[in-house]
Structure 1
Amino acid sequence: MPLYSFEGRSPTIDPGAFIAPTATLIGDVHVEAGASVWFNAVIRADFAPIIVREGANVQD
């Protein structure tokens, strides 16, 4: 899974989260335990933080 820093901020992922190998996270992204980001989804947090809360999922 590609993880990219942006302006000194990097994604943080709880070990209990699922991130698909083809998902892309950029910048100030936080993924909590039990959350998931699925195949080909892109989360880009360049203007403000994005928090994927426990139990949430992001799909393409």
Structure 2
Amino acid sequence: MPIRSFEQLAPRIHPTAYVDETALVVGDVEIGQDSSIWPMSVVRGDIQSIRIGARTSIQDGTIIHVT
């Protein structure tokens, strides 16, 4: 799974969260307990922070980016 830092901001992923190997998580992103990020999804916290709470499901092909 591509997990990337951006300008010294690294994603924080709870150990019980699932991130598909084709998803992309970048920058200031927090993924909570028992959450899931499914295929081809992108979560980009390069401008603002993104918090995905516990037991949240981000479905296939979703793009989350805050400007």
Global fold match (TM > 0.5): yes
Q: Say how many residue pairs are matched.
A: 60
Q: Which runs of 5+ in 2 are unaligned?
A: 62-67
One-letter amino acid of the structure 1 residue matched with residue 46 of structure 2: D
Q: Which runs of 4+ in 1 moved over 2 A?
A: none
* Superposed CA RMSD: 0.7
Identical-pair percentage: 35
Scaled by the length of structure 1, the TM-score of the pair is 0.93
Structure 1 residue aligned with 2:54: 54
In the aligned structure 2, how far is the partner of 1:29 from the partner of 1:58? 13
In the aligned structure 1, how far is the partner of 2:11 from the partner of 2:2? 10
Q: Which runs of 5+ in 1 are unaligned?
A: none
Scaled by the length of structure 2, the TM-score of the pair is 0.85
